[in-house]
Structure 1
Amino acid sequence: MTSNNEAIASRAEVVIPGGLLSPSRRLGAPVAFAKAEGPYLFDADGNRYTDYHCAFGANVLGHRNPAVFNAIAEVNESVDLIGAGVLELEVEVAELLVSAIPCADQIAFCSSGSEATYHALRLARAYTGRKQIIKFQGGYHGWHDYVAMNGQSSRQMMNSFDPMSDGILYDAARHTKILPYNDATAVEEYIKANPGEVAAIIIEPIAHNMGAVIAQHQFLRDLRRITTENGVVLIFDEVITGFRHALGGYQSIVGVTPDLATFGKAATSGYPIGLVAGCREIMERVGRTGEGAVFMGGTFNGTPSSLAAVKATVQELSKPGVYDRLFDLGDYLRKQIDQIIARHGIKAQTAGFGSVWLVYFFDGEFSEYADLLRNDNELDMRFRRALIAGRHIFQPLQLKRLYLSLSHDQSVLNDTLELIDTAMADLARSAAA
C-alpha cells in the first residue's frame, strides 16, 4: 500500500522540477511534511521528526512560535500589502533594528537574503564607482551571478572560476575575485596590485556555509583597516549569524563594524525577509531618484506580516537570558558529541558557534576552506543518513551546518545523543571490519 508520503512525493514529481523546491531538500526516502511544532516536524503519515535543519536556520525560536504567530494574526486584522506610502510598522521595525545593529544608520527591506546581498553589492559599486568584488572560497552569498561560485569546490577548482549553476553569466562573475578565508595578506596584496578596482569585500564573519569556520578577530580587524585605507566597502553577510548569535549580528560580538551588512533567515523566525543595514552615506542612495540613485524595488519589500514577524522575533530574543540559553544548549551538545567521538575512536570533531553545530570528520585545526578538504565525506554522509533514518532532520550534505532553536531543550538533545552514540558506534565497527 502506498503511503501518504509516497503519494504526495509522486504527485510532486509531475508538477515540481525534481519533485522538490531544490536538490538540497532531498532526504532520501520520500517525506512530505504536514505539521511543525517547536523542535518537531510531522509527516503526512503521522511520524514525528526532531528538527536540526530549522529551515536552513531561520527558525531560531522554534516552529510556529506563539509570539510570532499572534503578531502576524494581529497585523493581518488591520492591514495587508499596500505598496505605497509608509506604514508606522515599517518605521517601528526599522527603529528597532537601527538601535540593535552597530553598522545601521538606516535599514532597507527586501524579501530574502540573496536579494539583500545583491542589493548590497550594487550599492557598493554605485558608491565607489568600481566593479570588482572580493569573496572567499567556501562562502555562499546567494543565488545571483556575482557570487554564486566557489562554494564547496574540489581542490582542483579552488583557484579558478567554479560556478554553482549552469547559466551563470561569466561576464558578471569575472568581476569577482576569490581569495582564501582568514588570509588578510592575500586581500591586501590583491587590492594593492589592483588600485582603484575593488568596490567591496563581502564576507561571512563566521563562515557557516562551510560549517563553522570562524573568522579570526585580527583578520576582521585587518579587513576593516584595509578597506578603510583603500576606499573599499566592507560588507558583512550576516544572513546566518544575524539574530541567531546576537540581535546586532556577529559584528556586535567581535567589535568590528562593517559599512554594510545583510540579514535574513532568523530575523523573522520563519517568514520571508531580507535586510540591508548600513551607514547613512551609502544607504541614502536607495532613497534617491536621479543621478547617483540605486534602485531597490520589490512589490513585497516590507510586507506587513513579515515586519510583524521581525518585531515579535526581536522582542522574544531581547528577553533576559535568551542568548545564554542558545549558547548553553550548543555548548552542551558539542561537548557530549565530542565525548562520544572520543569513546568510539572516530577521527572527527565538533564545530560550531552558539546554536550552530556540526561534526567534521577529520582532526586538527582549520581556518579556511582548504583545511576542510581533509573531511571524510563518506563518513560524514553515512552519519547524516543514519540520523535522518532515525527521524532527525539534518541538512543532507557534507560540511553543512545544523541548528538548535529555543524550543529545543536538554531532554530533546539527550534523545538525539543516544542516536548519535549508536551511529558513531556503527561507524567505528565498520572502520574496524
Structure 2
Amino acid sequence: MPSQKLDQSQELSERARKAIPGGINSYARKFDRELNWDSGSGSRITDVDGNEYVDYLQAWGAIILGHCDEEINAAVTEAESQHDLYGYGTTELEVDVAERIQHHVPSAEKVLFGVTGSEVTAHATRLARGVTDRRKIIKFQGHYHGWYDSLAMNHLTEPEKLGTNDPDTAGLLDEIVDETIVLPFNDEDAIRETFAEHGDEIAGVILEPIAHNMGCIPPRPGYLETLREVTDDYGSLLIFDEIITGFRHDLGGAQKLEGVTPDLTTMGKSVANGYPISILCGKEEYMNQLSPAGGPVAFGGTYNAHAGSLAAARETMTELDERNFHEEAKAYRDRICDALEDILEDNGITATVEKYGTVFLTYFMEDTPHEYTDVLEQNEELYMDYRWGMVDEGIMMVPKNVRRNYITAAHDDEDARRTIEAAQDVLSELSQ
C-alpha cells in the first residue's frame, strides 16, 4: 500500500476520465496506482497531494538538464518573442541548430527536424524503401521504435509469441506486418543468415544501438560493426534509432561512443530538454532523396522546426557542454550503482546492476542480459515490489518491468543520499 496520501490524485484522475480516454494522453502514462502532478523543478517532481519525489523517470528520458530548467526556458521565451511559425522558407535558428548537429553527430551530413520520435523513424524506414526500391525492414525483438505500422511490433513480447511477428496494436495490415523481419539482438549469425536468404529484399535495418527499451543492454563487441559490414555488402541502409541515446550519453550519440556510423539516424527526447522536437539526419546521398531537397520521398509537417523547440535544443547543447554533464553524470551513476551492488550483496538478493552512460537499471536475475530471452529470466515480481517500494520512499523509479533510470544535470548529492537510503530500506525489507 502507498505510504503517501493520494486523495487529490485520485480525484483528478476521476475528473480526467470524463474528458480524456482513460484519463491520460499516452498509454505509457498508465500505471496500477494513480499519481498526478502539480510541478517539477530540477531533479524533483511534486504530485497534486504535495508528495515530493526524486525523479529518475524524467519524462521517459526527455529531460536531461532537469525539470523547468531556467536557462532553457529563458532561451525559449526569447526565441518565441520574435518567432513562432511562418510556413515559408527557413530561419537562422533552424540553420544554426542543424549546423551544430552536423558538428557533433558522425552520420549527420544533412539534418531535418520533426516533432515526435515515431514520425522520424517512420520517415527513416520509408526513405530506406524509397532509395533501395525494396520492401523488407529488419528490426529486433525487444527494441521499440514508436507507432509506425512497419515497426509497431515485438517490443515486450510474451514468451509463447517469440519467433513470430507480434503486433503491439490492433489495426495493422497483415501485408505490412509480413514485410518486417524480427531478429534477436546481439546475434551475428541471425543477421548473416537472414541477409543470405533475403538480402536483395531488405531495404534497411533499424535498431536501438543501446537497447534501452529492454532496460540497458549494449551491443556485444563487434556486433554493430557486423551490421555495418552486412548492410554495406547487400546495399541496405543501416538506421540507428537514437531517440533515447541521442545527446543522452554524448552529444554525438551512441554512434560516436561505439565508433560505428549508420546511414540514417533518428533522435529526440533529451535533445531539447523536454520540448517537442525530433531529428532525422544522415548521409547526404540519402537525405537528398527527401522532398525538401527535391527527392521523391515525402517529408513535411506544419510544426517542424518550431522556434521554441529549436531554441531549447540549441541551449541544451550549450548547457551540456558548459556543465560537463556526461562526465559528472557518470560519476553520480557510479555512486548509485556501487551502493546498489553492495546493498544487494549484503541482503543476499540475486540481481545485476547494469549501466551505460547516464542510464542505470537493476535486473533481478543472476546474469547480465544480452538479448530479449535473457530479460525473460528476470524475477518480475521482485522487480515490481522493489520499484513500488522506491516510489513509496519518494524515489520515482518507474514501476514498469525493465524500464531504465535516467540521470540529469540536476541530480545532486542529496538526491544520491536519499536514493541509497531508500534502496537500503526497501531491499532490506524485501530480503526478509
TM-score (norm 1): 0.96
> Is 1:357 the equivalent of 2:360?
yes
2:247 to 243, 247, 257: 243
1:391 to 394, 407, 412: 394
Residue matched to 2:108:
104
- Gaps of at least 5 residues in structure 2 are none
Separation of aligned partners in 2, 1:206 and 1:289: 31
Preserved CA contact (<8 Å) 2:6 2:49: no
Deviates more, 1:262-271 or 1:38-47: 38-47
Deviates more, 1:126-135 or 1:318-327: 318-327
Residue matched to 1:168:
172
Deviation at 1:31, TM superposition (A): 2.0
Residue matched to 1:217:
221
Residue matched to 2:329:
326
Deviation at 1:365, TM superposition (A): 3.0
SS of alignment partner, residue 333 of structure 2:
helix
Deviation at 1:24, TM superposition (A): 2.8
Separation of aligned partners in 2, 1:112 and 1:398: 24
Preserved CA contact (<8 Å) 1:61 1:406: yes
Q: Deviations over 1:60-93 (max 9, x none)?
A: 1010111111100000111112221111110000
Q: CA 1:320/1:15 → structure 2, altered by over 3 Å: closer, same or farther?
A: closer
Deviation at 1:232, TM superposition (A): 0.7
Amino acid at match of 2:416: L
Deviation at 1:27, TM superposition (A): 4.0
SS of alignment partner, residue 221 of structure 1:
helix
Q: Percent identity of the aligned residues?
A: 38
Separation of aligned partners in 2, 1:303 and 1:45: 34
Residue matched to 1:94:
98
Separation of aligned partners in 2, 1:324 and 1:38: 18
Q: Deviations over 1:369-419 (max 9, x none)?
A: 111111011111111111122222222211111111110012211101111
2:305 to 287, 302, 307: 302
Separation of aligned partners in 1, 2:364 and 2:174: 34
- Runs of 4+ with deviation above 6 angstroms: none
Preserved CA contact (<8 Å) 1:24 1:395: no
Separation of aligned partners in 2, 1:155 and 1:349: 22
Q: Deviations over 1:329-378 (max 9, x none)?
A: 11211111011100101111111212111110101132111111110111
SS of alignment partner, residue 378 of structure 1:
helix
Separation of aligned partners in 1, 2:238 and 2:43: 36
Which structure 2 residues correspond to residues 25-174 of structure 1 after superposition, within 5 A?
A: 25-174=29-178
Amino acid at match of 1:242: G
Separation of aligned partners in 2, 1:93 and 1:185: 40
- Gaps of at least 5 residues in structure 1 are none
Amino acid at match of 1:226: V
Deviation at 1:288, TM superposition (A): 5.0
Preserved CA contact (<8 Å) 1:113 1:262: yes
Preserved CA contact (<8 Å) 1:146 1:176: yes
Separation of aligned partners in 1, 2:38 and 2:369: 39
Deviation at 1:144, TM superposition (A): 1.4
SS of alignment partner, residue 298 of structure 2:
coil
Separation of aligned partners in 2, 1:323 and 1:195: 39
- Tell me the matched-pair count: 428
Residue matched to 2:411:
408
